[in-house]
């Protein structure tokens, strides 16, 4: 991970410890290969699929936010569904979930981790055609699924539990989107083996290693949903299979549905571990520990049953085993907390920060890319704690399927991930386009708004959930609403917080769109990657790097743990023809 | 590999903390009988309406003074709960529930009742109702366009 771009470029050189996200340089740089100083031999053609994936990701965010504000207003008794072509609240909620939990996050990962692999290996990805194909499949998938959702033929929410039965285009689109992520992995692995051939006996660069482990994790994790969709739901929706087993398909869904959370989070961890310290002038604490944290996620795939604690068909043994494994996951996240904060402290102290906590004020809060990720991390601490509640077996009974859960995950995926992606955009858009961000001040205002908005929103949802308010429900039209006076406060907070979040998203898009209208070649193309404080020597700890071996272990472990679950679910109980009541 | 001494300390404290949380939860299961649903039996949703006990949903008093509530969930009704569903405070109700169409969810706020109702499966859960008042059984899993109307009230006196 060399820092090629810290070499001065004449009078306009930027000192290495300034805000490095998007320093301005003259238009003197090479026009043909604007990224060449950051990643050798990378051309505009290598960046093209990355731009397309990233654009699709932001389209998902925009669409999701539009649906989000309608859900928030519903809490304030303002029904916007009557005023739009949407038929029901649930049609909107399906779009919200799919656009944000699947499209926004997956396409960002496709773009961002392709880029970090190139940066880590200091070379383009092995096969440009695969990257192009992946971007095309992602777009095609989103178009198919959008057709199904927008015409109200797939109002099945983003979990699409059978017997809810959508038209085939919905499942087909979802499958294409997943296949696009597999193609990204394939290209990463080709690049990995090519690099290994050229660099025998060397440690895989940390940045590339953790990026590929993230995708390997996702590939194994996605096999559940792949079998569910390709083996059952798609043929069922096409009429090739008559009936499916709702308990079984749901279990396949959650095989993927838990580690999907890692897939949302791991690209953000890559940024928090490797980039955020650089942006504040610090270093990565430990090479080996960072690798281990990512490997831990890979190994802890099979815990999805913790989403099914209240399912009738899953036995006590599966619930207990996977509950205990779930508790292991908090461990890598706790280590991450220490490592990332330590990198931040080092940076802040090198900028003159003092004291036990006061150093935090010396962090570059004026840079939206930094401020956004710091706030996202803060949100994640709250989200992680509420996650501990959800995972706590019997305490799960208090919160399962209540509004507490959206309260929790708008702090995790809705803030730790979404706010980080917005923050990263503040350097990534300039990096990809050469255009300088229009207003950094507006960016800072935007990220703070999101943070305070989500604090109010989530507090409201959690309050409601603890008083028995169900999630996935058009609350203000609920026939039992008048029984629950304590829900009023929850609804008001959800409405106000959600509105602030929506306005924040609007400011984000204004900033990005105006940026796109500016002149190119105004910024130096530079991915911020921090140095490692405690490095691994070549020759020692080489086993830590063995991606194929870790993947095989993770796969076998998943098969064993889930073998136990499936053993209890067989023979299949295919009883549901499926129906459409929306 | 070198690990910072503060980090080592931090890792140990975290491990102890997670260990204690696990112990507390095991105690909640062993000591307080907080239980999760377990596999009861399988049933064909198309035959539910003609299979005992689901052919006659409702509230039944058992020999030991407890109650059994046999419920059939369908979009968007809870069959088996009506104005006659009245139980004395302090009674324990054993719920036996299944679905004829979609997945539904049963939630009775302020109680321990929170479980999924899945076509093909029978859900068995129980709760003791100590406080008199009106309770609501509501559906907490999306089950189609009118999901938010799927609630039923009953009385504890
Ligand atoms: C504009 C800001 C947002 C607002 C106002 C908002 C509002 C909401 C509300 C009120 C719900 C609960 C709906 C219900 O349970 O009936 C919800 C669900 C959800 N939100 Fe958001 N949200 C926002 C942003 C996000 C973001 C950024 C993400 C993720 C990246 C996200 C992911 C989700 C998911 C996955 C669900 C669950 C959908 C389901 O249950 O099927 N939201 N949102
Ligand atoms: Cu999970
Ligand atoms: Cu429902």
Residues lining ion ligand 3 (Cβ < 5 A) are B 139, 143, 147, 150
- Asked if the model's pLDDT at residue B90 lies above 60, the reply is yes
pLDDT, tens only, A176-192: 999 999 999 999 999 99
Which positions of A are annotated as active-site residues?
Answer: 258, 262, 408-410, 471-472
Q: Whose CA is nearest to atom 41 of ligand 1?
A: A157
Query: Which CATH code for domain A16-21+35-569?
Result: 1.20.210.10
What does pLDDT average to over chain B?
A: 92
Alpha-carbon distance of A498 to A476, in angstroms, equals: 16
What strands, in cross-sheet order, belong to the sheet with B133-139? B86-87, B151-156, B133-139, B104-107, B114-117
pLDDT, tens only, A447-489: 999 999 999 999 999 999 999 999 999 999 999 999 999 999 9
Confidence band, pLDDT 50/70/90 cuts, at residue B77: very high
- Give, in degrees to the nearest 5, the angle at Cα B44 between B43 and B48: 85
- Asked if the model's pLDDT at residue A30 lies above 60, the reply is no
Q: What pLDDT was estimated at residue B31? A: 67
Are A314 and B102 inside 8 Å of each other by CB? Answer: no
Q: DSSP secondary structure string, chain B? A: ----HHHHHHHHHHHHHHHHHHHHHHHHHHHH---------B--GGGGGGSTTTTS-EEEE-TTS-EEEEEEEETTEEET-STT-EE-TTEEEEEEEEESSS-EEEE-TTSS-EEEE-TTB-EEEEEEE-S-EEEEEEE-S--STTGGG-EEEEEE-
Nearest chain A residue to B48 by CA: give it.
Answer: A575
Alpha-carbon distance of B138 to A561, in angstroms, equals: 34
pLDDT, tens only, B35-73: 788 888 999 999 999 998 999 999 999 999 999 999 999
**CA-based radius of gyration for chain B:** 20
- Give me ligand 3 centre to Cα A458, in Å: 23
Q: Tell me the CA distances in angstroms from A65 to A53, A58, A93, A407, B49, one per residue in order.
A: 19, 10, 11, 16, 43
Q: What pLDDT was estimated at residue B32? A: 65
Alpha-carbon distance of B32 to B15, in angstroms, equals: 25
pLDDT, tens only, A417-452: 999 999 999 999 999 999 999 999 999 999 999 999
Confidence band, pLDDT 50/70/90 cuts, at residue A13: very low
Between A93, A309, A312, which is nearest B118 by CB? A312
Alpha-carbon distance of A407 to A37, in angstroms, equals: 44
Find out whether A348 and A280 touch, Cβ atoms under 8 Å: yes
Which residues on A lie below 8 Å from B22 (Cβ)? 324, 327
Q: Which CATH superfamily is domain B39-156 in?
A: Cupredoxins -  blue copper proteins (2.60.40.420)
Alpha-carbon distance of A378 to A401, in angstroms, equals: 25
> B127 pairs with which residues across the strands?
B93
pLDDT, tens only, A228-247: 999 999 999 999 999 999 99
Alpha-carbon distance of A198 to A428, in angstroms, equals: 29
Nearest chain B residue to A479 by CA: give it.
Answer: B149
End-to-end CA distance of chain B: 66
Confidence band, pLDDT 50/70/90 cuts, at residue A327: confident
Residue A534 belongs to what H/E stretch? strand A532-534
Find out whether A487 and A470 touch, Cβ atoms under 8 Å: no
Q: What is the DSSP letter of A164?
A: B
Which residues are within 8 A (CB) of A260 and not within 5 positions of it... i.e. 6 or more apart? Answer: A101, A218, A221
- Give, in degrees to the nearest 5, the angle at Cα B115 between B111 and B117: 140
- Asked if the model's pLDDT at residue A342 lies above 50, the reply is yes
Q: What is the dihedral angle through the alpha carbons of A136, A138, A143, A147, rounded to the nearest 10 degrees?
A: 150
Q: What pLDDT was estimated at residue A571? A: 94
Percent with pLDDT over 70 in chain A: 95
Q: What pLDDT was estimated at residue B33? A: 61
Query: Where do the structural domains in chain B lie, given as residue ranges?
Result: 1-34, 39-156
Residue A334, φ and ψ in degrees, nearest 5 = -65, -40
- Give me ligand 2 centre to Cα A257, in Å: 7
Other CB atoms within 10 Å distance of the CB of residue A63? 21
Percent with pLDDT over 90 in chain A: 82
ω into residue A257 within 30 of 0, thus cis? no
Locate A114 and state its tokens. 């392709």
What does pLDDT average to over chain A?
A: 92
């Amino acid at each position: 991970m060399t820092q090629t771009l810290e070499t001065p470029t004449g009078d306009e050189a930027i000192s290495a410890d300034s805000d490095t996200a998007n320093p301005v340089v003259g238009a003197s740089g090479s026009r043909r290969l604007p990224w060449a100083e950051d990643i050798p031999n990378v051309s505009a053609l290598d960046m093209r699929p990355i731009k397309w994936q990233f654009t699709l990701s932001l389209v998902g965010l925009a669409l999701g936010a539009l649906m989000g504000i309608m859900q928030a207003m519903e809490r304030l008794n303002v029904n916007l569904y009557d005023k739009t072509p949407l038929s029901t609240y649930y049609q909107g909620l399906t779009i919200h979930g799919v656009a944000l939990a699947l499209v926004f996050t997956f396409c960002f990962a496709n773009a961002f981790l392709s880029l970090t692999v190139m940066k880590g290996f200091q070379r383009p990805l092995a096969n440009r055609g695969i990257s192009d194909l992946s971007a095309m499949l992602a777009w095609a998938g989103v178009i198919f699924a959008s057709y199904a959702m927008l015409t109200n033929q797939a109002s099945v929410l983003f979990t699409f539990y059978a017997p809810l039965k959508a038209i085939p285009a919905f499942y087909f689109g979802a499958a294409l989107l997943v296949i696009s992520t597999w193609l990204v992995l394939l290209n990463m692995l080709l690049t990995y083996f090519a690099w290994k051939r050229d660099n025998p006996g060397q440690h895989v660069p940390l940045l590339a290693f953790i990026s590929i482990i993230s995708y390997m994790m996702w590939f194994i994790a996605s096999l559940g949903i792949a079998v569910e969709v390709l083996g059952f739901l798609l043929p069922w929706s096409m009429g090739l299979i008559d009936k499916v087993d709702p308990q079984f398909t749901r279990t396949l869904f959650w095989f993927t549905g838990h580690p999907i959370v890692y897939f949302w989070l791991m690209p953000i961890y890559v940024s928090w571990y490797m980039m955020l310290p650089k942006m504040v002038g610090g270093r990565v604490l430990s090479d080996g520990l960072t690798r281990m944290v990512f490997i831990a996620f890979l190994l802890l795939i099979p815990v999805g049953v913790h989403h099914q604690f209240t399912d009738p068909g899953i036995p006590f043994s599966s619930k207990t085993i996977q509950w205990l494994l779930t508790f292991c996951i908090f461990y890598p996240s706790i280590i991450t907390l220490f490592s990332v904060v330590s990198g931040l402290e080092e940076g802040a102290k090198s900028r003159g920060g003092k004291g036990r906590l006061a150093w935090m004020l010396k962090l570059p809060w004026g840079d939206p890319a930094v401020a956004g990720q710091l706030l996202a991390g803060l949100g994640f601490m709250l989200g992680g704690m509420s996650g501990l509640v959800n995972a706590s077996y019997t305490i799960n009974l208090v919160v399962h399927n209540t509004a507490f859960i959206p309260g929790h995950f708008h702090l995790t995926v809705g803030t730790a991930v979404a706010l980080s992606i917005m923050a990263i955009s503040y350097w990534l858009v300039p990096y990809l386009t050469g255009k300088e961000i229009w207003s950094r001040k507006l960016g800072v205002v935007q990220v703070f708004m999101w943070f305070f908005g989500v604090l109010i929103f989530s507090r409201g949802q959690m309050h409601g959930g603890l008083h028995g308010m169900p999630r996935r429900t058009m609350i203000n039209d609920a026939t039992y609403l008048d029984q629950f006076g304590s829900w009023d406060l929850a609804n008001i907070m959800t409405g106000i917080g959600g509105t602030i979040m929506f306005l924040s998203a609007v400011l984000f898009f204004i900033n990005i769109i105006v940026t796109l209208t500016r002149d190119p070649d105004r910024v130096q193309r530079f991915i911020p990657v921090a140095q490692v404080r405690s490095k691994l020597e070549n020759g020692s700890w080489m086993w830590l790097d063995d991606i194929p071996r870790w993947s095989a272990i993770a796969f076998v472990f998943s098969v064993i743990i889930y073998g136990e679950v499936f053993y209890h679910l067989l023979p299949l109980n295919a009883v549901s023809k499926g129906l459409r009541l929306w | 590999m070198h690990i910072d001494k503060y980090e080592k300390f931090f890792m140990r404290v975290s491990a102890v903390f997670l260990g204690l949380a696990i112990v507390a939860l095991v105690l909640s299961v062993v000591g307080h009988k907080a239980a999760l649903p377990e596999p009861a039996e399988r049933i064909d949703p198309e035959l539910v309406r003609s299979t005992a006990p689901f052919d006659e949903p409702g509230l039944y008093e058992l020999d030991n003074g407890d109650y059994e509530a046999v419920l059939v969930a369908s979009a968007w009704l809870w069959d088996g709960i009506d104005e006659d569903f009245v139980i004395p405070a302090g009674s324990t109700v054993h719920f036996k529930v299944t679905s004829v169409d979609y997945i539904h969810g049963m939630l009775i706020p302020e109680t321990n009742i929170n479980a999924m109702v899945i076509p093909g499966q029978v859900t068995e859960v129980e709760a003791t109702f100590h406080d008199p008042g009106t309770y609501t059984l509501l559906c907490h899993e999306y089950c189609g366009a009118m999901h938010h109307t799927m609630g039923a009230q009953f009385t504890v006196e």
